[in-house]
Structure 1
Amino acid sequence: MSNKWMRLAAVLCLTTLMSTPALALKSQYKLSMVVGPNTAWGMGAQRFADLVKERTDGRINIKVYYSGALFAGHQTNEFTLLRQGVADFSLASTINWSPQVKELNLFSLPFFFSQPGSLDAVVHGKTGEQIFARLEQLGVQPLAWGENGYRQLTNSQRAIVKPDDLHDLKIRVVGSKLFIDTFQALGANPTAMPYSEALTALQQGVVDGQENPVAGVIVPYKLWQYGQNQLTVWNYVVDPLIYAVNGREWRAFPDDIKQAIRRSAEDAAQYQKALARVGLDDGAALAWLKEHDEVPDVTDPYAVLEENGVTITRLSDDQLAAFKAKVAPVVDQWTDTIGAKLVDTARTDQQQAR
């Protein structure tokens, strides 16, 4: 081809590219949520939607779909639906995505994050970077880390102070094999079911107990009204959340909108984490909310439980050691599934933060 024709072809190609319209923005985007709006989790999702609308001058409008409305209550399908574009955005628990993203099972290793501050060290360290990179490879753009808190155990039968106390108790767990393996190792009878079915199962006695964060789920859903009058504080699993967007949608956004969305996620995550930690830390969360003039009607969740007749059992280090010994084989087995290198990186992040 002569230089003349090559120049003409280049001009035609450039003209075509310049005349191709950008992908139109949607009039409304869908954000997927597992729980309801009256939780720190739900409030964090709405805060994100509000900030995005404000910072994009109304160009990006996000509607929050609470209580599993976009995935018919089957929460472990959420990651797939986000990848497919059924949902555009999500504020999701790593637990619910772990069946499709094996690396996220890291956060469900029993007693791996039992020390205060260990989660922050990992998600803001090299481990968090590697996990976010993996999500990008799978077609989901992560934006920021939120938190649902430590998961504690409730039941309607008896106080749990040693593994034998769990013998044959029917415990509702999320549909993750790691949770089933953990509770089987402890001698319980785990039953996997969506949270949309859990309240009815508790009320009817189909299951004896469940495990969830106190401020994130147990208090907002008033589980004492469903017979859950025993609570064991054992910090056995922590529950980080991820603000994320479908990868194709993300790539289609102009740079200024991307910047606004990412900044909104980071700011909403700070607010959401503070809500989740009120009454559960040394007062730093409430101080942050007051400093930013964001003081919702929050109280110590453990005080709320006691006021409603819930017996709270706090395990000592010696008591916890017996539970840790029972689940040690589960940790070893799932370390291989998750990836030993990633688990080692998480341990290093924790050690460097001490």
Structure 2
Amino acid sequence: MRVKQVVAALTAAMSLTLAAPAFAQETREFSVSTVLSDAFPWGQAAAKWAELVNERSEGRLTLTVYPNAQLVSGDQTKEFSAMRSGLIDMAVASTINWSPQVPELNLFSLPFLMPDEAAIDAITQGSAGDKVFAAIEKRGVMPLAWGENGFRELSNSRQAIQSPEDVQGLKIRVVGSPLFLDTFNTLGANPTQMSWADAQPALTTGAIDGQENPLSVFDVARVDQVGQKYLTLWHYMADPLIFGVNQKVWKSLSAEDQQLLRQAAIDAGAWEIEKSRNELADTLVAIKERGVAVTELSPEQHQAFVEATAAVYEKWTPRIGAELVAEAQAAIDAR
């Protein structure tokens, strides 16, 4: 009897030992890179994704968000390469920042392609958006869903901008994209690529005259406090966000967890898009109340900018893919 008890005890102990590693593998933690914190809609999208994944997996899957491009030492243009190589597990990322590695993403930076939010949706939710996602996947990252950083508007410290002539000679900070340089050079400005950390003191001292960013960034970062007293709502390009996963991480997940992660991204993206759009009117009121002179272009004034940047459109269309650009235009026309 005693021998049987000992054998039973040993068998139970061995079964517990064997079960422990299997139990430990059920809980996994992943890094998520973002450029902005949850003070901005961009960071809120990542936080919502993490919240939904944790809730729906009952804590088995944990997404830890690293804002301010921490995982690439502040250089957001390196995020896609770091993610593809496995240094970053996941990201809620800008089409602009990934465009050097995925040329098709320059579609969204074509000047004045998308006149309104319905035009953004016509691209991202249609066949053109599917082709963009296929291009991202082909280059080593699995895209799951869309979010929104918003239309980028133009501000400066010198004068109200109502026509292309008003932009001439202005020193404008732009992000690290050749297409942005082409757009502002074509308008006769003096564009300068620099990080946002470098841009703020440069705006304060007058080393540069202006910058372009979504209204949410202008508001939360208090760009008016660094001399930006003139703001033009010109909607020259919009920057959708992309929820993405490293391919190796994606393939390591079960089909059920892949679906959980994807649906959580879709839901977080839809939540963030609705929230950021609903807040735009109040954001604009707050900006005006701080003494910023806001210029809203008439249709004729807007068209003047469209015509002034037509050469940029023509130059970049073959680089992006003429078929993709045509498909996006058709979707916008049919919206």
Measured after TM superposition, the shift of residue 24 of structure 1 is 4.8
- 1:307 aligned onto 2:308: no
Please give the residue correspondences for 1:332-343 in structure 2 after superposition, counting only pairs within 5 Å: 332-343=314-325
- Counterpart position of 2:218: 218
- 1:351 aligned onto 2:333: yes
- Counterpart position of 1:275: 275
Q: Distance in 2 between matches of 1:26 and 1:113?
A: 42
> What is the identity, as a one-letter code, of the residue corresponding to 2:218?
I
Higher-Rg member (1/2)? 2
Measured after TM superposition, the shift of residue 159 of structure 1 is 0.5
Q: Percent identity?
A: 44
Q: Distance in 2 between matches of 1:91 and 1:123?
A: 15
TM-score, normalised via structure 2 length: 0.90
- Counterpart position of 2:235: 235
Unmatched 5+ stretches in structure 2: 1-21
Please give the residue correspondences for 1:76-225 in structure 2 after superposition, counting only pairs within 5 Å: 76-215=77-216, 217-225=217-225
- Counterpart position of 2:15: none
Measured after TM superposition, the shift of residue 34 of structure 1 is 0.8
> What is the identity, as a one-letter code, of the residue corresponding to 2:109?
S
> What is the identity, as a one-letter code, of the residue corresponding to 1:52?
V
TM-score, normalised via structure 1 length: 0.85
> What is the identity, as a one-letter code, of the residue corresponding to 2:260?
A
2:27/2:59 contact within 8 Å kept: no
Task: Return closer, same or farther for 1:226/1:63 CA change in 2, 3 Å cut-off.
Answer: same
Matched residue SS, 2:237: strand
**Moved beyond 6 Å, runs of 4+:** none
Q: Distance in 1 between matches of 2:27 and 2:158?
A: 51
Q: Distance in 2 between matches of 1:48 and 1:199?
A: 30
Q: Distance in 2 between matches of 1:56 and 1:334?
A: 43
Listed one character per residue, the Cα deviations across residues 235-286 of structure 1 (whole Å, up to 9, x for unaligned) are: 1101100011101100100122111111110110111101220244xxxxxx
Listed one character per residue, the Cα deviations across residues 9-52 of structure 1 (whole Å, up to 9, x for unaligned) are: xxxxxxxxxxxx9x956742111111122011111110101111
Listed one character per residue, the Cα deviations across residues 38-93 of structure 1 (whole Å, up to 9, x for unaligned) are: 01111111010111111111111111111111112211111111111111110011
Listed one character per residue, the Cα deviations across residues 170-196 of structure 1 (whole Å, up to 9, x for unaligned) are: 111000000000000011100011223
Q: Distance in 1 between matches of 2:39 and 2:183?
A: 30
- Counterpart position of 1:57: 58
- Counterpart position of 1:289: none
Q: How many residues align?
A: 314
Q: Distance in 2 between matches of 1:276 and 1:173?
A: 23
1:147/1:239 contact within 8 Å kept: yes
Unmatched 5+ stretches in structure 1: 1-20, 281-298
Matched residue SS, 1:31: strand
> What is the identity, as a one-letter code, of the residue corresponding to 1:108?
S
Please give the residue correspondences for 1:5-44 in structure 2 after superposition, counting only pairs within 5 Å: 24=25, 27-44=28-45
- Counterpart position of 1:254: 254
